[in-house]
Structure 1
Amino acid sequence: MFNLGGPEKQADVQGFLYNLFADRRIIDLPWGIRQGLASLISSRRAPIAKKNYALMGGGSPILSETRDQAQALETHLNRGAGIDAKVFIGMRYWHPFIEDCVKQIEAWKPDEVVVLPLYPQFSSTTTLSGFEAFKKAWRGKAPVKYVCCYSDNDHFIDAHVQLIREWLKSKVGDTSNVRLLFSAHGLPEKIIKNGDPYQEQVESSVARIMAHLGDIDHVICYQSRVGPLKWIGPSTDETIQAAGRDGKAVMLIPIAFVSEHIETLVELDIEYAELAEKAGVHVYRRVPALRTNKGLIQALGAEVMKALGAVGPVIGDHDCAKCHKFCPKKRAA
């Protein structure tokens, strides 16, 4: 099970940022240039980032949340799947790294391995980057399957539907004047134009959720823009301001995040809440991430079992055609 990772304390922040921006899937430049640029960006962004992490106690909760999710999934798989399952954790940009996780898995000597991203929607910048890190480090003999995405998994959809309904009833009440904002992490537009299916999968998730919720005003938006490139939109901040102009109450749903971290606890809960107040939004509520929600754990369990039943390696062979072009085996073929 892998995720982005995050600094656990203030001293980790710059190193985490360096690892993030040194990834060729994040900055597509030759290694030497990318390394220098990552060093420059991380040193400049670290002071601001440290202040934001300080708002969460100094570091990110993403590792502890991932451990909780791993334990819940392991219990779920061993309860009724008829297998002896052990869930290992690897992070892409901070400890415990995917490469360290691989060593633990090899020492356990499994019969089969499933690589499971905690990103519901596939993107070359997140899921594929993790796959590549695992493939580069893996020296074991067990067959490996890769779960590319599960944004349309019925359990995943139902978990969001039930949580949104609960929050609408308890936190808003009157749905006639509420606007649901489904916020996902943004991407540069050029990545989507290159065929990355992330935006399409976000939109598909929301369409299926809204088919259950019915006729409620809603918008898909994208947060966390950095740099000079044109990003996919509309942006979350612009969408919040528009809701203020329209006199709408706002309920924000983090559709692409399954854990609480800096982009939910600081960006959505603090920065955008302040923006909403200035924009005249009279009600601003943020639905929590799914975390260890039963529906999410069921979705992950179902995807693991599906992967174990697949013939051949899932990456390069899996049945998600929209992700095929990003699989190294497909490109080599």
Structure 2
Amino acid sequence: MASFGLHRPVLHPSTTHSEAERAGCSGRCLPVLTQRHRNEPADIRGSSSSPIVASPVLPVTAGLSEPTRISIAASSVATEKIGVLLLNLGGPGTLKDIKPFLYNLFADPDIIRLPPAVRFLQPLIATIISTLRAPKSTEGYKAIGGGSPLRRITDEQACALAASLTAKGQPANVYVGMRYWHPYTEEALEQIKADGVSRLVILPLYPQFSISTSGSSLRLLEGLFKTDKKLGQLRHTVIPSWYQRRGYVCAMADLIEQELLKFKDVPSVEVFFSAHGVPKSYVEEAGDPYKEEMEECVRLIMDETRRRGFANTHTLAYQSRVGPAEWLKPYTDESIRWAAGVWGRTGDLEMLLQAYDRERRTLPSPVEMWQWGWTKSAEMWNGRIAMLAIIIILLLEATSGQSILKNLIYAE
């Protein structure tokens, strides 16, 4: 059985069932685009010789709890109905959605990877983290209007994609499926089945592939396709990453060029890329290609800017690390500190710090040694020790069938 994950046979979308079986897959395998096909537009037209007649794109009328579907009217002679499924992270629409959204996020084993022996603790850990992080996240969402704009932006992308496909003579229904909030991927698939879609293009809206983003969504889809007979028979194509597409690279170079031209001394400007990080173990132990794809993406973008006559240097750093584990380096905050030391201009440092985290006016120095008292290091280690103790107690109770705390309290 082919997998949506990292290690999967690579099949052309037109591969037949017998060819799939020879490649080590069953007829339900989920083919992906090869490198050659990633660099070419996917042919999602039906095999019928009768043209599909498009009507104007319909506006989005679905509520926040309903799946997004951008419909294109087709002629009755069309033998196939084409669909495009856009996959994204999702985000809380209102402040009251923040805690359950965070729970869904941290309950995903592709986000917090626990050893098999303690994987049963995932819901508990997700509850603790979501409870602790909800207040700070609430303040952040209040600052941007009381909710995530991701649903609106993704719906706008779906509308634009449907319109573009129609203009190119390849009309399709475009659906939005979120991983951790409404409209959930499962809701989008139910709508796809109800609409009678016969061919589906699956497009994660993450340019680079990572276990924790595209991988998580595709793993969910794999399970749903395995257990649903109707979905298992649906012909589909997966586009796992698209950072190397010419249009994307040029769009990023356009944005950089616009900003560079705002400076008086353009050649002296450093281009700073801050990418979302992942734990180092994802790359070194699980084989996540994210780091490699991100570095190649930055190289392609900078090659394009140089082709346009800009010879600026650049830095790639990784942000948003969580917990004690080592994440991809260099870290964004450390790189900002380094850049400030090189440039030696306070104004530039202030500008970078505000862009990185509006709540932080200065960067704290790294802790070189243990600090006693009510300090960040003490809180961190106390928290680690307490969590370790809880895990040990739960494991002992699960294996022995006895309540450790009860025995300690009522011991004679």
TM class by smaller structure: 0.7 to 0.9
**1:18 is aligned to 2:114:** no
- Please name the residue that 1:78 is paired with: 166
User: Aligned to 1:226, which of 322, 334, 340?
Assistant: 322
Displacement of 1:212 after TM fit? 2.1
- Please name the residue that 1:178 is paired with: 269
User: Aligned to 1:51, which of 139, 150, 166?
Assistant: 139
- Please name the residue that 1:246 is paired with: 342
Displacement of 1:203 after TM fit? 0.5
Displacement of 1:134 after TM fit? 2.0
Larger radius of gyration: 2
Could you state the TM-score of these two structures normalised by the residue count of structure 1?
A: 0.74
Displacement of 1:83 after TM fit? 2.6
Structure 2 Cα separation of the partners of residues 273 and 11 of structure 1: 23
Displacement of 1:271 after TM fit? 4.6
Q: Secondary structure at the match of 1:181?
A: strand
- Please name the residue that 2:57 is paired with: none
User: Aligned to 2:278, which of 187, 210, 213?
Assistant: 187
User: Aligned to 2:153, which of 65, 79, 84?
Assistant: 65
Paired AA for residue 220 in structure 1: L
CA, structure 1 residues 223+270, in 2 after alignment: closer, same or farther (shift >3 Å)? same
Structure 2 Cα separation of the partners of residues 188 and 268 of structure 1: 23
- Please name the residue that 2:235 is paired with: 143
- The question of whether the paired residues in 2 share the 8 Å contact of 1:102 and 1:134 is answered with no
Paired AA for residue 279 in structure 2: P
CA, structure 1 residues 179+100, in 2 after alignment: closer, same or farther (shift >3 Å)? same
- Please name the residue that 1:167 is paired with: 259
Structure 1 Cα separation of the partners of residues 92 and 172 of structure 2: 28
Deviations 1:104-155 (A, max 9, x none): 1111111201111010000111101101222323433321211100111111
Displacement of 1:224 after TM fit? 0.6
- Please name the residue that 2:380 is paired with: none
Structure 1 Cα separation of the partners of residues 325 and 343 of structure 2: 31
CA, structure 1 residues 183+249, in 2 after alignment: closer, same or farther (shift >3 Å)? farther
Structure 2 Cα separation of the partners of residues 87 and 174 of structure 1: 45
Q: Secondary structure at the match of 1:44?
A: helix
Deviations 1:283-315 (A, max 9, x none): xxxxxxxxxxxxxxxxxxxxxxxxxxxxxxxxx
- The question of whether the paired residues in 1 share the 8 Å contact of 2:336 and 2:353 is answered with no
When the two structures are aligned, how many residues end up with a matched partner?
A: 261
Paired AA for residue 87 in structure 2: F
Q: Secondary structure at the match of 1:60?
A: coil
Q: For the aligned residues, what is the CA RMSD? A: 2.1
Q: Secondary structure at the match of 1:58?
A: coil
Structure 1 Cα separation of the partners of residues 339 and 133 of structure 2: 30
Q: Secondary structure at the match of 1:149?
A: coil
CA, structure 1 residues 200+223, in 2 after alignment: closer, same or farther (shift >3 Å)? same
Percent identity over the alignment is: 38
Paired AA for residue 236 in structure 2: V
User: Aligned to 2:246, which of 130, 148, 154?
Assistant: 154
- The question of whether the paired residues in 2 share the 8 Å contact of 1:25 and 1:129 is answered with yes
- Please name the residue that 2:28 is paired with: none
Counterparts in 2 of 1:1-333, with a 5 A limit? 1-29=86-114, 30=116, 31-80=119-168, 82-138=169-225, 139=228, 140=231, 141-170=233-262, 172-194=263-285, 195-214=287-306, 215-247=311-343, 270-272=355-357, 278=362
Q: Secondary structure at the match of 1:89?
A: strand
Q: Secondary structure at the match of 2:126?
A: helix
CA, structure 1 residues 62+176, in 2 after alignment: closer, same or farther (shift >3 Å)? same
Structure 1 Cα separation of the partners of residues 353 and 94 of structure 2: 21
Unaligned runs of 5+ in 2: 1-85, 364-412
- The question of whether the paired residues in 2 share the 8 Å contact of 1:183 and 1:222 is answered with yes
Paired AA for residue 117 in structure 1: P
Structure 2 Cα separation of the partners of residues 148 and 173 of structure 1: 40
- The question of whether the paired residues in 2 share the 8 Å contact of 1:119 and 1:126 is answered with yes
Displacement of 1:269 after TM fit? 5.7
Displacement of 1:226 after TM fit? 0.6
Deviations 1:217-270 (A, max 9, x none): 2100111111110001111111112121111789x9xxxxxxxxxxxxxx9865
Paired AA for residue 224 in structure 1: S
CA, structure 1 residues 77+173, in 2 after alignment: closer, same or farther (shift >3 Å)? farther
Q: Secondary structure at the match of 2:112?
A: coil
Structure 1 Cα separation of the partners of residues 176 and 216 of structure 2: 16
Q: Secondary structure at the match of 2:339?
A: helix
**Highest RCO, 1 vs 2 (Cα 8 Å, sep ≥ 6):** 1
CA, structure 1 residues 119+156, in 2 after alignment: closer, same or farther (shift >3 Å)? same
Unaligned runs of 5+ in 1: 253-266, 280-333
CA, structure 1 residues 270+180, in 2 after alignment: closer, same or farther (shift >3 Å)? closer
Q: Secondary structure at the match of 1:84?
A: coil
